[in-house]
Structure 1
Amino acid sequence: MQVGSYGGLVSIPTEPIGSIPRPAALLAVLSAHAAGEADDAALAAAQEAAVRETIRRMEEAGSPVVTDGEQSKPSFATYPIGGTDLAGDGVVIPFADGHQRQLPVITAGPFGYAVHADRYLRAALPHANVPVKQAVIAPSALSLLYPPGGIDGYSQAAFLDDLADEAEADIRGCLDAGAHAVQLDFTEGRLSLKLDPSGGVLDAFIALNNRVLERFTQAERARIGVHTCPGGDQDSTHSLDIDYTGLLPKLFQLKAGNFYLQLASEPDPDKVLAVIADHLPPTARVFIGVTDPINPEIETPEQVRDRVLRAARHLPADRLGTCDDCGFAPFADDTSTSRDTAFAKIAARIQGTALAAIDLGL
């Protein structure tokens, strides 16, 4: 039985979300490069070695779809940003344990991506023997780069026009390069309800993301998904305390073919699954999180199986998939989870999904 196929014998695909903790060798070179003690060539070589090893270990775990583990991204959110027209006093993202991440803001226009995600995909493809998935940052997250006070000669409307064009190019470049799927990282969705309980910011995020998604055909959108979670960084979250049911009905307004939803860390998964069942678009597939990257305890295949079977009591099995709740190391300096733990959790996800497929007679 081949788990993860979208057709044939199996109807429970399983996919990683994205980031994997970086190996010590790469972290050492990143530190040396930042200090001016390693050149660009040394950094590129270390990144390629880490990508190659990451893909190998995912394949050894039985993953039918792999990612590059974001070994070369500075973070899942800021990889497109470059140049000197930036200031460091952007939106602050507070995490439950007290640490923070802060976005920059642009200081001039026009806005453009310095890096598109197909660069990472093209570097990963030669190392893979199975389909490769590519994560991109949702345009809604990058909309936060525009300063509240505005920019002389460059309106917010003009910025959003440029952002939508660049976000489309980011997705389309990955599709054209042969990505199995393109995943928009939309972790700011739940956070927006913490920052603005009225839901106005979330509505603006949904509208902007749909402005981009509507540029793709139905066949293309079948290969495009949206991932959401309450954030996961240094074993903490930024919005797990926000009721998921406030986000999901609006999330499912997004014109995507797949939804990747954190669920393993939810205190009341049946409540969430009931909302998913009520609002999931009729042609979309939902991948439910069955492993919790910020919990150091490694799930057993049987625990994963039971989580899948619980979801199947609410959702049609032929529209169900599995994933990890979040990436394991969304920022380059996040070493809170070991590589061995990440790959053990991935293996449990794959094995548990297979067990669930057997129990469901698929």
Structure 2
Amino acid sequence: MTRASLTIPTEPIGSIPRPAELLAAMADRAAGRIGDDELAAAQDQAVRDTVRRLEEIGSPVVTDGEQAKPSFATYPLAGADGLAPDGAVIPFADGHQRQLPRLTAGPLRYAVHADRYLRAALRHATVPVKQAVIAPSALSLLYPQDGIDGYPREAFLDDLTAEAEADIRGCLEAGAHVVQLDFTEARLSLKLDPSGGLLEQFIALNNRVLERFSAAEQARIGVHTCPGGDQDSTHSLDVDYAALLPALMQLKAGAFYVQLAGEPDPDKVLGVLADHLPGNARVFVGVTDPIDPRVETPEQVRDRILAAARHLPVDRLGTCDDCGFSPFADDTSTSRDTAFAKIRARVEGTALAAGELGY
């Protein structure tokens, strides 16, 4: 590839704050005031508007904004049986918590697969669409520590591996530009288990799924890592990236989406990334911080990319937002307009950096 033909790709991570009309429809559905059809219509309108606004900004790749997902983490479980509400707790720095469900019976089966959301977005998009899916490592936390009678953990992991493969493969076959595994629990695992044993288990499980795909398919699969981003707080920003990234880069994926804008020492992180960059992978560095209410300027974004280019080969570099915006429906800490303003700054700043680098 010639220098003149190179560009710096830029992609969103996934979620976009939901419009007020959709939030109202979700509340009405929960209260029984409207039915499923009315909610589905509101979700489709939100997806249509999300895709339209991303395209108007000039985003070369779009997502559905996860408008119809209950959350980025729990969508496969919507309507599933055999779950109790008292599962693993994820504490955030500001004191609030999120709690996963607990599996009470097997076998594990996804009630919803992500290609449903992808197909909805493809109906409205005129540019490539990426699809985020939850990493199997996150859903491995559903299994209780004291086990389930008649359903051993290894049987659960077999089922989870098969379901996660089907989730990814369905999106690839439906025409996803790329499928992104959300692996936010990676950094959190080092807080829960500083020895790295839990992270090692997570990496092994995710690779168990990724190894089921060909090299060409793996090139269309990416992995996103961040310290969480919910209600303007994080769950593991205090964990040193240097302990995570060498292990993370062992995943058999073609792209890595790495939160960076919110890091206190981005140059240190970039040095670690440069030292452990896999053979053919591309690293998308975060250049906008979704939990910072200040909207970055294109020039700030440009400068962050130029800093990254001092460490990473430009032909292996991309840009993204640090995390998704408002990944849970009840997170209204960031407005929809702010999210799109930040995304516009990312798109325009990436173009500025490409120009300065001669691409």
SS of the equivalent of 1:225 reads strand
**Whole-angstrom distance in 1 between the partners of 2:4 and 2:230:** 37
**Whole-angstrom distance in 2 between the partners of 1:29 and 1:168:** 32
Moved more, 34-43 or 7-16: 7-16
Instruction: Find the counterpart in structure 2 of residue 349 from structure 1.
Output: 346
Instruction: Find the counterpart in structure 2 of residue 3 from structure 1.
Output: none
Q: Answer yes or no: is the 8 Å Cα contact 1:229–1:325 preserved in 2.
A: yes
Q: Answer yes or no: is the 8 Å Cα contact 1:11–1:320 preserved in 2.
A: no
Instruction: Find the counterpart in structure 1 of residue 97 from structure 2.
Output: 100
Query: TM-score normalized by structure 1?
Result: 0.98
Among 325, 331, 334, the alignment partner of 1:334 is: 331
Instruction: Find the counterpart in structure 2 of residue 264 from structure 1.
Output: 261
SS of the equivalent of 1:304 reads helix
Instruction: Find the counterpart in structure 1 of residue 53 from structure 2.
Output: 57
Instruction: Find the counterpart in structure 2 of residue 177 from structure 1.
Output: 174
Among 6, 11, 15, the alignment partner of 1:10 is: 6
**Whole-angstrom distance in 2 between the partners of 1:353 and 1:159:** 43
Instruction: Find the counterpart in structure 1 of residue 18 from structure 2.
Output: 22
Q: What do the CA deviations read for 1:246-289 (whole angstroms, capped 9, x no partner)? A: 10000000000000000000000000000000001011000000
**Whole-angstrom distance in 1 between the partners of 2:155 and 2:90:** 25
- Name the amino acid aligned to 1:164: T
Q: Answer yes or no: is the 8 Å Cα contact 2:80–2:110 preserved in 1.
A: no
- Name the amino acid aligned to 2:22: L
SS of the equivalent of 1:127 reads coil
**Whole-angstrom distance in 2 between the partners of 1:8 and 1:18:** 30
Instruction: Find the counterpart in structure 1 of residue 288 from structure 2.
Output: 291
Matched, 1:247 2:244: yes
**Whole-angstrom distance in 1 between the partners of 2:5 and 2:311:** 22
Identity of matched residues, % = 78
Among 198, 201, 204, the alignment partner of 1:207 is: 204
- Name the amino acid aligned to 2:174: A
Matched, 1:71 2:80: no
SS of the equivalent of 2:285 reads strand
**Deviation of 1:332 (Å):** 1.1
Instruction: Find the counterpart in structure 1 of residue 125 from structure 2.
Output: 128
**Whole-angstrom distance in 2 between the partners of 1:118 and 1:8:** 36
Number of residue pairs the alignment of both structures matches: 357
Moved more, 122-131 or 8-17: 8-17
**Deviation of 1:38 (Å):** 1.1
Instruction: Find the counterpart in structure 2 of residue 4 from structure 1.
Output: none
**Whole-angstrom distance in 2 between the partners of 1:231 and 1:38:** 33
Structure 1 gaps, min length 5? 1-6
**Deviation of 1:10 (Å):** 3.4
Instruction: Find the counterpart in structure 1 of residue 37 from structure 2.
Output: 41
Q: What do the CA deviations read for 1:173-220 (whole angstroms, capped 9, x no partner)? A: 000000000000000000000000010000000000000000001100
Q: What do the CA deviations read for 1:293-320 (whole angstroms, capped 9, x no partner)? A: 0000000000000000000000000000
**Whole-angstrom distance in 1 between the partners of 2:98 and 2:49:** 28
Matched, 1:90 2:87: yes
**Deviation of 1:11 (Å):** 2.4
**Whole-angstrom distance in 1 between the partners of 2:40 and 2:6:** 38
**Whole-angstrom distance in 1 between the partners of 2:247 and 2:47:** 35
- Name the amino acid aligned to 2:182: D
**Whole-angstrom distance in 1 between the partners of 2:186 and 2:33:** 39
Among 139, 142, 145, the alignment partner of 1:142 is: 139
Q: What do the CA deviations read for 1:306-349 (whole angstroms, capped 9, x no partner)? A: 00000000000000000000000111111110000000000000
Change over 3 Å in CA distance of 1:232–1:252 after alignment to 2: same
The root-mean-square deviation of aligned C-alpha atoms, in Å, is: 1.1
Instruction: Find the counterpart in structure 2 of residue 237 from structure 1.
Output: 234
- Name the amino acid aligned to 2:202: F
SS of the equivalent of 1:80 reads helix
**Whole-angstrom distance in 2 between the partners of 1:23 and 1:95:** 25
Structure 2 gaps, min length 5? none
**Deviation of 1:8 (Å):** 7.3
Instruction: Find the counterpart in structure 2 of residue 307 from structure 1.
Output: 304
Q: Answer yes or no: is the 8 Å Cα contact 1:110–1:159 preserved in 2.
A: yes
**Deviation of 1:83 (Å):** 2.3
